[in-house]
């Protein structure tokens, strides 16, 4: 188990993905995504896709609470997947969106809000 990146029971084996991708703010997750390559996106999607229904089921109705770091980390991992998957599925592994402005120019006002 990767220390500090524990997930809820039943999701063992995803800790390495959590260590790499799960962060509490959109800004932090974007920084990882902007520096990822095609292999990173492919590996993330390959590992996450079969586990996604279980994670989403676990998080259905979940109200983020600072008192449950494992559940929060699961939510952060699912958010990271939602943000990264298009880069694997639609953008050929590029961290940029083709035929668009540089996404690093977009700074979400809520980007520092913690999950």
Block mean pLDDT (10 aa), the chain, length 115: 80 95 93 95 97 95 82 95 95 83 69 68
Domain count, the chain: 1
Query: Which residues make Cβ contacts (< 8 Å) with residue 78, sequence separation at least 6?
Result: 52, 55, 56, 59
The per-residue pLDDT for 1 is: 47
User: Per the domain annotation, does 30 fall within a domain?
Assistant: yes
Identify the pLDDT of residue 16. Answer: 96
Cβ neighbour number for residue 2 with a 10 Å cutoff? 13
5 within domain boundaries: no
Please check whether residue 114 lies inside any domain of the structure: no
Residue 65 domain-assigned (yes or no):
yes
CA pair distance 61, 42, nearest whole angstrom = 29
Tell me what pLDDT residue 100 has: 72
Domain membership of residue 28 (yes or no) is yes
- Supply the pLDDT for residue 29: 94
Q: Which long-range contacts (CB under 8 A, 24 or more apart) does 97-104 make?
A: 103/30, 103/34, 104/30, 104/34
pLDDT of residue 101: 66
**Domain for residue 78, yes or no?**
yes
Within a domain: residue 85?
Answer: yes
- Rounded to a whole number of angstroms, the CA Rg of the chain reads 14
- Asked whether residue 7 is assigned to any structural domain, the reply reads no
Which residue segment(s) compose the domain that 71 sits in? 15-105
């Amino acid at each position: 188990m990767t220390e500090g990146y524990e997930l809820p029971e039943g999701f063992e084996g995803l800790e390495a993905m959590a260590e790499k991708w799960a962060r509490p703010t959109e800004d932090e997750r974007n920084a990882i995504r902007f520096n990822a390559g095609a292999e990173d996106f492919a590996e993330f999607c390959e590992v996450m896709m079969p586990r996604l229904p279980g994670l989403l089921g676990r998080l259905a109705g979940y109200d983020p609470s600072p008192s449950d770091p494992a559940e929060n980390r699961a939510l952060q991992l699912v958010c990271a997947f939602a943000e990264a998957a298009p880069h694997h599925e639609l953008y050929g592994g590029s961290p940029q969106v083709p035929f668009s402005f540089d996404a690093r120019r977009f700074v979400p006002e809520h980007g520092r809000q913690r999950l």
